[in-house]
Amino acid sequence: MFKSFISKKNSPIIIGALFFISYLFLVYIYYFNTNKYAIEEGHKRVDQILFQHRAIHSYVENMQKPVIYKLKYDGKLYNEFFQPEVLSSTFIARNMHNFFIEEMKKQNLEPYSYKLASNNPRNPINKANELEAELIKKANEQSFKHFDKILDENGKKYLYTAIPINSNQQSCLKCHGDPKDAPKEMIDRYGTDSGYFEKVGEIRAIISLKVPLDELLSNSMKIFYILSSVTAIVFLSIYLIIYIIIIMQRRLEKEKEEYQYNLLLQQSKSAAMGQMIGNIAHQWKQPLNAMSLMIMNVEDMFSENELDKESMDNFVKNSISQIKYMSTTIDDFRNFFKPNKEKIDFDAIESVNNALKILNPSIKANQIQVNVKSDNQFILHGLINELTQVFIILINNSKDAFILNDIKDRTIFIDINGSNKQIIVQDNGGGIPKEHINKIFQEYFTTKGKEGTGIGLNIAKMILQSEYSANISFDNIENGVRFTIKF
């Protein structure tokens, strides 16, 4: 099946197209997954920041604040003591993030952005923007717990993440409820304009993070380009190997076909050689008889002393004429059998005439009338001897049909039509039996028993297809068959 496929003319194009489509599919997968990887790495950074934030918050709430409250209880700190630097987890977390961001900048790393966004913040820098205000509203409506979005700001991409903080507990209202309940130092520092009158169960803020993605996406694109390039090289290498295999396989098949073609061609010529030798013998018979009579006549004239110069000149002249005739006959047959692979331009009528000259003795001996019609020049380019062999095969098949079917009035008609680029060879030899119609061009099929080789019409078809890109077909006509060769 593979051999059958690669023998098709367009198989390299089909394989190349399949490889290209597969490559595009893989490139898409690479692109999708490398981008997905960059986003996942962004999420990991967000998770690390959140872990750090929760750790700071837990430390302040669980370790630092209890110590401050104990100091107050023991009287070592006055009761109204309030410093956000040690008592506000929000203040501490924000500044810890700021210190961390400064350290990142020192290392030429693009920092992330942290904000505890609120609609009612004490510090104006925490004032929620439109998106954050909408998310705070949704958090209080219990319609969101985690929000992610890719933002494009000033030509840079960011992974934006928002998470609501825990809802207010009763203990939260000491600092965020009625201002009169808040520590005096807090009011002295922040005033009473904002950050108060919140309710239990209300979510007052969201953690708003923006992590830069450009570096991650740039690294993922490098991976994408490397994978795409390696895949392209691998695919191209595999395709080149397959292409070389296809070319080598085609070359081997072509060499095999040429060998089989040349073998059948030689078999066809060899099969015709015996008949050709008989034709030569028949064609030489008349000149040899004439020369024999002339020699006997010269001998008689010499015996009677009647051999003069004029008689001798006539003898020489007539002998040379007969010898030239015999030499021409030999040259015709030798030219046909001589291997010649030089392609030339020639008129189709030349090939037909060559076949008729070679077969002339057989045509005369079997009383066959051959009529040739040529409307104008029909110039072909190829091996003239091989086209001659096609006509020899067709004419010999007609002759055999005449003999087999005992046809009395034997006629072969050859029509050379240069305008339509076709040649017709037809006879009145009785036609081809219906049971043989689908087999006559098959290799080694013959209707002549042991006398036939079964390669005639098969080799004729091969010659026409391989040397002239021509097709041969046939159809039965009244009392005979017609072969049509279309160039």
Statement: residue 369 has pLDDT above 80: yes
Q: For residues 183 and 165, what is the distance between their CA atoms, to the nearest angstrom?
A: 23
User: Per-residue pLDDT tens for 324-348?
Assistant: 766 766 665 666 656 666 788 999 9
**How buried is 81 (Cβ within 10 angstroms: 0-12 exposed, 13-18 middle, 19+ buried)?**
middle
Region of poorest pLDDT, from 194-198, 403-407, 428-432, 449-453: 449-453
Higher local confidence (pLDDT), 155 or 4? 155
pLDDT, average across residues 36-46: 91
Which ranges constitute the DSSP H helices of 145-213?
173-176, 184-190
pLDDT at 448: 56
Residue 1 is predicted with a pLDDT of 47
Structural domains of the chain ordered from first start: 9-212 (no CATH), 273-486 (3.30.565.10)
Enumerate residues 6+ apart whose C-beta is below 8 A from 348.
374, 378, 379, 380, 387, 416, 418, 423
Give the E-state strand segments of 286-384 in sequence order.
Answer: 344-347, 368-374, 379-382
Residue 365 pLDDT exceeds 70: yes
Over 60: is that where the pLDDT of 169 sits? yes
Q: Is residue 22 predicted with pLDDT exceeding 50?
A: yes
Give the pTM: 0.53
Q: What is the pLDDT of residues 101-127, one digit of tens each?
A: 999 899 988 899 899 899 988 888 889
Q: Which of 157, 166, 233 is nearest to 198 (CA)?
A: 166
pLDDT, residue 373, reads 93
Per-residue pLDDT at 212 exceeds 90: yes
pLDDT value at position 194?
A: 86
Task: Catalogue the E-assigned strands of 292-428.
Answer: 344-347, 368-374, 379-382, 410-417, 422-427
- CA distances 420 to 38, 388, 390, 424, 482, Å, are 70, 20, 19, 11, 16
Q: Residue 443 in contact with residue 454, Cβ under 8 Å?
A: yes
Q: Round to whole Å and give the CA distance between 451 and 272.
A: 12
Contact 117, 205 (CB under 8 A): yes
pLDDT value at position 386? 83
> Lowest-pLDDT range, 166-180, 416-430, 452-466?
452-466
